Amino acid sequence: MESHNITLIPGDGIGPELTDATRRVLEATGVKFNWDIVHAGTDVMAEYGTPLPQHVLDSIRKNKVALKGPITTPVGSGFRSVNVALRKELELYCCLRPCKSYAGTPTLYNDVDIVVVRENMEDLYAGIEFEKGSADAGRLISFLGELGANVRPDSGISIKPLSEFGCRRIVRFAFEYARANKRRKVTAVHKANIMKFSDGLFLAISRELAQSYHEIEFEDRIVDNMTMQLVKKPQQFDVLVCPNLYGDIISDLCAGLVGGLGVAPGANLGDGIALFEPTHGSAPKYKGMNKANPMAMMLSGVLMLRHINETAAADKVEKAIAAVIADGQNVTYDLKRDGEQCNAIGTAQVADAIIDVMHKMP
Ligand code: NAD
């Protein structure tokens, strides 16, 4: 049997515990992995002088597939997010976040099946920022003044670029994904009524590309209305395509619709490279407590298995996770109903329960 070369980045905070649990479940499928375990984040700063050492990028470029735990971005340290840097360095332009209800999850809805397709490179996450009071902010403000745009001199400024190239690439991805996965509808999310030249461009390109996919229904929603409709009637939505910032917020909202961050997986995809990671962060308050839910990372592993064409193994892990959720006994605190949290089990024990179910499967 072929062995798959995969870069494994355990991350920090709750990352290493989730990675350990996920790895055990993935290996229990019988699929063979050659894990190249590499580390990134503040913990490696002292050793390598950077939170994202070159050998981490080299490993991902070589293996083309990576599985990653969350990595902390310290607030106000001047150190940019490793997560954002990885997506940029590797040109992982699409963040795919499926949000699907599993029976037995304590939520308001039991029939949500939404896939968020988020643009990952542009928008307010492009990292083009000017600090209040800096010389560059001053120069930019004077230049804008010359163009007739008055910005207060005591402003901090973040720039929102959306390119035709970037919009086309992500919208095309959303339609191609919908076609390949037999999804019925694509909804473009924007605020084109206010940001006419950035979100307006995104909307115009979405409408244009929709013409080439007649079998897929297309609609658009203004982002504020979108959030209200998602909470009110999420079942009406299927694939959502969003510029970076709205995609970030909406994917957490959709995670909440299906039971929270503990069950929300993700994939960062580029041309030929794929990095799989849960939507959630490193939840530092739960670090080392054997408390966090490993299912989001395991479901990211399921996406990875599908990506490497290990479909039977992917189905097996997903079915076992669904069975454990439906049974409701062997789940972490976040999947227990109010008042039942004291019966929650730990991260490692969830992995044991899932492996147990897999062993009993035909
Ligand atoms: P977070 O997602 O880490 O945690 C928010 C809350 O969600 C937690 O306090 C916890 O209550 C819950 N939660 C998250 N994951 C869970 C799990 N697996 N099981 C059960 N409950 C879970 O968000 P945050 O507190 O805003 O961020 C913490 C750090 O993570 C920050 O430094 C942030 O920059 C970083 N972050 C990293 C990534 C990434 O690695 N891709 C993504 C988001 C945030």
pLDDT in tens, 198-250: 999 999 999 999 999 999 999 999 999 999 999 999 999 999 999 999 999 99
Query: Exposed (0-12), middle (13-18) or buried (19+): which is 172, by Cβ within 10 Å?
Result: middle
**Rounded average pLDDT over 320-328:** 96
Closest CA to 254 of 266, 243, 271: 266
Q: Is the pLDDT of residue 359 over 90?
A: yes
| Catalytic site residue from 68, 191, 291, 316 | 191
Ligand 1 atom nearest to CA at 14: 18
- Phi then psi for residue 160, to 5 deg, are -115, 90
**Global pTM?**
0.93
How many helices (H) and strands (E) would you count in the chain?
12, 12
Q: How confident is the model at residue 26 (pLDDT cuts 50, 70, 90)?
A: very high
Q: Which of 125, 177, 246, 316 is catalytic?
A: 125
Q: Which of 300, 281, 244, 298 is nearest to 117 (CA)?
A: 244
Check whether 258 has a pLDDT greater than 80: yes
Cβ atoms of residues 277 and 151 within 8 Å: no
Say what the pLDDT of residue 208 is.
98
| CA 41 to centroid of chain Cα atoms | 18
- Residues 309 and 276: their CA atoms lie apart, in Å, by 15
Which residues lie below 8 Å from residue 284, measured CB to CB, with a gap of 6+? Answer: 13, 14, 72
| Residues 114, 51: Cα–Cα separation, whole Å | 33
Contact between 205 and 167 under an 8 Å Cβ cutoff? The reply is yes
- Using 50, 70 and 90 to split pLDDT, how confident is the model at 342? confident
pLDDT at residue 77, as a whole number: 63
Could you tell me how many residues make up the chain? 362
Cα–Cα distance for residue pair 88/90, rounded to 1 Å:
5
Handedness of CA 161, 210, 236, 315 (dihedral sign): negative
Render pLDDT for 43-83 as a digit per residue (tens, 0 to 9). 898 899 899 999 999 999 999 999 999 999 877 666 778 99
Query: How far does residue 323's CA lie from ligand 1's centre (Å)?
Result: 25
Task: Determine if ligand 1 sits within 6 Å of the CB of residue 104.
Answer: no
Tell whether ligand 1 has an atom less than 6 A from the beta carbon of residue 120: no
Ligand 1, atom 42, residue with closest C-alpha: 281
Residue 75 backbone class (left: φ over 0; alpha: ψ -120 to 50; beta: rest): beta
